[in-house]
Structure 1
Amino acid sequence: MLSFKRQTVSETVFEIVNAIIMLLICFLMLYPIWYVVINAFNDGEDAMRGGIYWWPREFSLSSFNAVFRSEGIMTAMGITIAKTLIGVPVHVFFTAMVAYAFSRKELVGRKLYMLIGTITMFFGGGLIPYYLLIRDLHLLDNFLVYIIPAAFSFFDLIIFLSFFREIPQGLEEAAKIDGANDFKIFYKVILFVSLPVVATIALFHGVYQWNDYFTGMIYMNDQNLQPIQTYLYRVVAQSSSNQMLAAMPSGVSVSVTSQSLKLATMVVTTAPIVVVYPFLQKYFVKGFMIGSIKG
């Protein structure tokens, strides 16, 4: 028969208190998001009166109608989607290729390269030298500023490297016997057996590309090349919401306010990654665990 260990009173009290504290933390983290959502779906003028805490008092889609009629936000959404779809495979390919070279014992100066790369993880040249570098590379107001500087990450290289070191040497030796060169071994063998870590790094960089607003804010003066998060920054921190309100088509309800436009824009810009992230959380955890346990 199965025997169950009886909990002491102190253990029971601890679990109850622990559950209450965790529920309170979850509430404090989730309620601000819920507050933005319910106010975004409420009538703009009615929301100005306040008192909306749990659900919309006067449900309305006027604010979202105004947001989606704005050419600026759709252009920014297209830029974000484009830089994510292009930047992720470029980043994964180049970072994995460098990590594969670092995993080869015959690489001359490997320890020196690792030392230099590790230093760059903690120390940088600063924003002004980096801006001057971007300017000299003619990447200002250039879509490639989202792709080229982010094509490599030493942190992601370490994750790749931990995985590559666990791949049996026999796979490479068998490929060499079949006449494959280093590039074919990397492309057809190493990447193929490394799909879990490839998916993990792709998710890391995909979230970064979607959430990055700083690059567009600093290096893009052309608003037609700014991503959705930079657009959100301009709407929330500047007077862009008033400009959107003034430029609304005549068919949009007059109940839309600058505040309701800000909230609706926040929901539109963050909804895709918020919806996708919970389903991808396990890959993030797995990515941090890769190489941490040796058999």
Structure 2
Amino acid sequence: MSFVNHKTKGDKAVDAVLYTVLTLFGLATMFPIYYVFVMSVTPYSEVLKNGGFVLYPTQITLEAYKNIFSSPVIPQALKITVTVTLVGTLLNLLITTLLAYPLSKRFLPGRNFFLMAIVFTMLFSGGLIPLYLVVRATGLMDSIWALIIPGLVSTFNLLIMKTYFENLPAEVEEAAKVDGCGDIQTLFRIVLPLSVPILATLGLFYGVGHWNAYFSGIMYLNDKSLFPIQVVLRNMIQTPDISQELAISNPMLMQTLPPETIKMATVVVAILPVLLIYPFLQKYFIKGMLLGAIKG
């Protein structure tokens, strides 16, 4: 027997209002990204002609992108950011997994104490100055490890992964142990292949956090060659002379290529990798968040 869903006029009106509101909200969300991209490819003459506001450029130029990639600053910053994001995310997932898996076992001695100590860090912390002193005392200053190690484990992500492990069928691990697998083999050969959704979800969390991080770079780095892309972008916004910040060999280019256009192009370069990766991880993101939040 099949049931046909007949919507009343009131239901259709509600659906129309919801779709309209969501469409307007989506357009409002995407407009800043669209505007930044348009401004990065619009010639300076057209920007001046339209009073600095262009929605539909009649001409397109890629001089801003050629300019920022001809300078050594942006490619070096991207190299640092990609390295920190990849290495940092892998270490984040590894340490978070190695902590969450034993904490998901109720027979672990002292489990409640460790959980309370971990949750305590979500509510209280030593503060910014003690953190800086610890990083300096451990010799991490002016190294990319200062961008990775201080935030190696997120308590929130750790609890999500622990909950996910608790929801896995216990029979699977019991069967693995009957076949002679130890705890490490069970984790890496049985549990992790079943945990792709949560790994992708937390990997996205950690990866985006590393990619967008700039405050740690300002705090711990003095060497400009180690600055990630977000720190370079921040310095560009605060620096009046863009040619000096990017070490542009032809300052006369600023007459045909305004600083705002270079800033917009740098913003596009900074956000594009995340925009390209997210659609591929979206299905794992939604599934991982739902399964990781079944119970506390």
Normalised by the size of structure 2, how large is the TM-score?
A: 0.89
Shift of 1:146: 2.1
Q: Could you list the per-position Cα deviations for residues 13-60 of structure 1 after superposition, in whole angstroms to 9, with x for gaps in the alignment? A: 333333322222222211111111111101134324425432224321
Q: Could you list the per-position Cα deviations for residues 108-139 of structure 1 after superposition, in whole angstroms to 9, with x for gaps in the alignment? A: 22112111211212322221111111111111
Shift of 1:141: 0.7
Any conservation in 2 of the 1:42–1:60 contact (CA below 8 Å)?
yes
Shift of 1:93: 0.9
Shift of 1:166: 2.4
Any conservation in 1 of the 2:200–2:281 contact (CA below 8 Å)?
no
Count, aligned residues = 293
Judged with a 3 Å threshold, the aligned counterparts in structure 2 of structure 1 residues 169 and 20 are, in CA distance, closer, same or farther, namely closer
Distance 1:19 1:178 in 2: 53
The residue aligned with 1:42 is 42
The residue aligned with 2:159 is 158
Distance 2:234 2:40 in 1: 17
Q: More displaced, 145-154 or 96-105?
A: 145-154
Alignment of 1:95-110 (within 5 A): 95-110=96-111
Shift of 1:96: 0.5
Judged with a 3 Å threshold, the aligned counterparts in structure 2 of structure 1 residues 5 and 113 are, in CA distance, closer, same or farther, namely same
The residue aligned with 1:274 is 275
Q: Supply the RMSD in Å over aligned alpha carbons.
A: 2.4
Shift of 1:225: 0.8
Any conservation in 2 of the 1:70–1:244 contact (CA below 8 Å)?
no
Shift of 1:3: 4.6
After TM superposition, where is structure 1 displaced by more than 6 Å over at least 4 residues in a row? none
Judged with a 3 Å threshold, the aligned counterparts in structure 2 of structure 1 residues 141 and 190 are, in CA distance, closer, same or farther, namely same
The residue aligned with 1:82 is 83
Normalised by the size of structure 1, how large is the TM-score?
A: 0.89
Distance 1:182 1:6 in 2: 54
> What residue identity is the alignment partner of 1:137?
T
Matched, 1:25 2:31: no
Judged with a 3 Å threshold, the aligned counterparts in structure 2 of structure 1 residues 137 and 239 are, in CA distance, closer, same or farther, namely farther
Distance 2:5 2:108 in 1: 57
Judged with a 3 Å threshold, the aligned counterparts in structure 2 of structure 1 residues 93 and 129 are, in CA distance, closer, same or farther, namely same
Segments of structure 1 that go 5 or more residues without pairing to the other structure are none
Shift of 1:284: 2.4
Any conservation in 2 of the 1:245–1:258 contact (CA below 8 Å)?
no
Judged with a 3 Å threshold, the aligned counterparts in structure 2 of structure 1 residues 219 and 12 are, in CA distance, closer, same or farther, namely same
Identity among equivalent pairs (%): 34
Shift of 1:91: 0.9
The residue aligned with 2:262 is 261
